[in-house]
Amino acid sequence: MNADYVIVGAGSAGCALAYRLSEAGRSVLIIEHGGSDAGPFIQMPGALSYPMNMARYDWGYRSQPEPHLGGRRLACPRGKVIGGSSSINGMVYVRGHAGDYDHWKDSGAAGWGYADVLPYFKRMETWDDGGHGGDAGWRGTDGPLHVTRGPRDNPLHAAFVTAGAQAGYQSTDDYNGAMQEGFGAMDMTVHKGRRWSAASAYLKPALKRDTCELLRGLACRVVIEQGRAVGVEIERGGRREVVYARREVILSASSINSPKLLMLSGIGPAAHLAEHGIEVIADRPGVGQNLQDHLELYVQMASSQPITLYRYWNLWGKALVGARWLLGKRGLGASNQFESAGFIRSRAGVAYPDIQYHFLPIAVRYDGKAAAEGHGFQAHVGPMRSASRGAVTLAGRDPSAAPEIRFNYMSQESDWDDFRTCIRLTREIFAQEAFRPFVKHEIQPGDAVRSDEELNGFIREHVESAYHPCGTCRMGAADDPGAVVDPETRVIGVEGLRVADSSIFPRITNGNLNAPSIMTGEKAADHILGRGMLPPANDVPWVHPGWQEMQR
């Protein structure tokens, strides 16, 4: 029950940490409350809507009633299984834009600029373009994480990218390469037809070493003695016990559970801890604050041709897809179906993309409910850099109780303007010549929804989380009173304790967060081992030469 390093959470960052620390010969004990990732619901990419809606694999968190969304409580799935959220997510792989990381650096996270993090993205990847082109010089060739592309057989995928070009936007061979801006193929964490989670990429190989062990249990608090973290109190089998760390404790428990654990351990806003009768060990007002997420809408179109995935949206169709996957890891079940993407700028004067598209050749919700119209397709669209900020706070002292999550979605006027822009720009793309053979009519918002007021009503009722919470243990300069960890991921004010997961992001990155979370674990491992960083990259990313005057 002791090791050099005790990691809480076998998620995207925690698995990468376990792999790199054990690879270096350090002993690692990783604590995970969830269980096995075996079985088709997690392993079959095409079944992605199931695990995030299953209590067995998901913590089941929901936001508090959101005041700007009519009091709706939005789902906030977090993986409760080995691999964490990388085992229940949509498998979309987006590094983020260079500008995101340069913003981190400029806001106090020294050593986390794009030149600093790009070598870690390369180290973690084995990139296979699947015969669809790409930016090979920017990609990794021998990392644990397999990244590939779907077959893009459905003609609607090509129509989406062509429509983007017809509307005047760039086309990009690789949004994870030199040029994020534009329309092109989407990357996914799938290998040989199976979900390639952080558990598959990092944890399972690490557990084959004598230096790494997985322990099932609920982390209750970090044990701190004389200002130093010495272990983690866990609950398993109905009793409490302490797992001791000879060197350091590392929290990689998610942007929801990492701040919760810090607060339960006496690290956080002093007044809030006092409310719950928790002894204050370090007054860090930033713990739980700075909560960010991406919201998105589904702009859905009815299809005039029966070529969408709706033909398989019945018992026999799903059985056929499942059988093909089970027998050979082939067919529709071997892809997440997010095979075309777009990143655009909302207006002139925006330096790099602030709108993301996921295109899907079926009109369906994340919970698996298909549109009543039948055959259709949709673009998931949303702004990337909302100014709204929320918080994670304690509901009580019980470690098994969910914390209170308030995203404060759409609390800034700019959010509404940005979402209306998203809808109007998406309608323009679907109106292009490339979609003429396929568009029957608009399902939602619907042709009648046009004015600002009508669009606002639709947004309020239908906007959904893209499930990208982050920022609640913000990384910054050691003398920044709002920062929780320093640029080496050390918790400010406590010895022997670090946080390494999406909670340390100063600001949310462009796109989906699994890739940046894994990169965080990779880079944190080098900080922890004290062996120096990978040399900074010299690659220069593409920026639209007319961005100051042109929207596209």
Indicate whether 98 and 209 sit together in one domain: yes
Q: What is the pLDDT of residue 134?
A: 86
Domain final residue, candidates 443, 462, 481: 462
For tokens 């801890």, what's the residue? 273
Contact 284, 472 (CB under 8 A): no
Residue 5 pairs in a beta bridge with 28, 248
Alpha-carbon distance of 76 to 71, in angstroms, equals 15
pLDDT for 371 equals 75
Mark whether 500 and 435 lie in a shared domain: no
Query: Are 450 and 415 a contacting pair, CB within 8 Å?
Result: no
205 and 249 in a common domain: yes
CATH, residue 241: 3.50.50.60
Number of independent structural domains in the chain = 2
Length of the chain (residues) = 552
> Is there a domain that residue 84 lies in?
yes
pTM of the predicted model as reported, rounded to 2 decimal places: 0.98
Give yes or no for a contact between 343 and 355, defined as CB atoms under 8 angstroms apart.
yes
Other Cβ atoms within 10 Å of 401 Cβ, number: 11
What are the tokens at 17? Answer: 């940490």
Q: Where a domain ends, among 462, 478, 501?
A: 462
Rounded (5°) CA angle 198-204-210 = 135
In a domain, 226, yes or no: yes
Identify whether 548 is part of a domain.
no
The Cα 343–Cα 161 span in angstroms is 11
Q: Is 91 annotated as a binding residue?
A: yes
Q: Are 487 and 520 in a shared domain?
A: yes
Specify if 281 maps to a domain: yes
First to last CA, the chain: 57
Same domain membership, residue 201 and residue 173 = no
Rounded CA-CA distance 172/342 in Å is 9
Taking the C-alpha atoms of residue 9 and residue 501, their distance in angstroms, rounded to an integer, is 10
439 and 377 together in one domain: yes
Query: 498 φ, ψ to 5°?
Result: -130, 160
494 is in an annotated binding site: no
Positive/negative CA dihedral, 174, 180, 182, 186: positive
Per-position pLDDT tens, the chain of length 552? 899 999 999 999 999 999 999 999 999 999 999 999 999 999 999 999 899 989 999 999 999 999 999 999 999 999 999 999 999 999 999 999 999 999 999 999 999 999 999 999 999 999 998 777 788 999 999 999 999 999 999 999 999 999 999 999 999 999 999 999 999 999 999 999 999 999 999 999 999 999 999 999 999 999 999 999 999 999 999 999 999 999 999 999 999 999 999 999 999 999 999 999 999 999 999 999 999 999 999 999 999 999 999 999 999 999 999 999 999 999 999 999 999 999 999 999 999 999 999 999 999 876 767 777 899 999 999 999 999 999 999 999 999 999 999 999 999 999 999 999 999 999 999 999 999 999 999 999 999 999 999 999 999 999 999 999 999 999 999 999 999 999 999 999 999 999 999 999 999 999 999 999 999 999 999 999 999 999 999 999 999 999 999 999
Which tokens hold the place of 549?
A: 């005057």
The domain of 112 spans 1-149+192-286+470-535
457 and 498 share a domain? no
Are residues 254 and 234 part of one domain? yes
The pLDDT value given to residue 370: 73
CATH of the domain at 176: 3.30.410.40
Residues 445, 370, single domain; the answer is yes
Say if residue 81 carries a ligand binding annotation.
yes
Instruction: Evaluate whether residue 547 is within a structural domain.
Output: no
Note whether 121 and 59 are same-domain residues: yes
Residue 110, in any domain of the structure:
yes
Strand partners, 141: 126
The sign of the dihedral angle between the CA atoms of 516, 519, 521, 523 is negative
Residue 41, burial from CB neighbour count under 10 angstroms (0-12, 13-18, 19+): buried
Residue 418 lies in a domain: yes
pLDDT at residue 7 in the model: 99
Count of beta carbons in the 10 Å neighbourhood of residue 479: 9
Based on the domain organization, do 502 and 450 belong to the same domain? no
- The answer to whether 298 touches 379, Cβ cutoff 8 Å, is yes
- Residue 317 has φ and ψ, to the nearest 5°, of -65, -45
Q: 438 to each of 163, 303, 378, 435, how far by Cα in Å?
A: 12, 5, 12, 5
Q: Which residue has the tokens 């007054």?
A: 283
Structure tokens at 91: 């498998």
Locate tokens 């997690």: which residue? 42
Q: Report if residue 401 sits inside a domain.
A: no
For this structure, is 103 an active site residue? no
Residue 6 near residue 31, CB atoms below 8 Å: yes
Q: What is the DSSP string of 411-457?
A: -SHHHHHHHHHHHHHHHHHHTSGGGTTTEEEEEES-TT--SHHHHHH
> Which tokens belong to 218?
């609920």
CA-CA distance, 537 to 535, in Å (whole number)? 7
Selection from 287, 284, 343, 321 nearest residue 481 by Cα:
284
Catalytic residue among 157, 294, 358, 468: 468
Tell whether 374 and 457 lie within a shared domain. Answer: yes
Bond into 481 cis (ω within 30):
no
* Structure-token pair, residue 222: 């970090």
Cα–Cα distance between 440 and 376 in angstroms, integer?
9
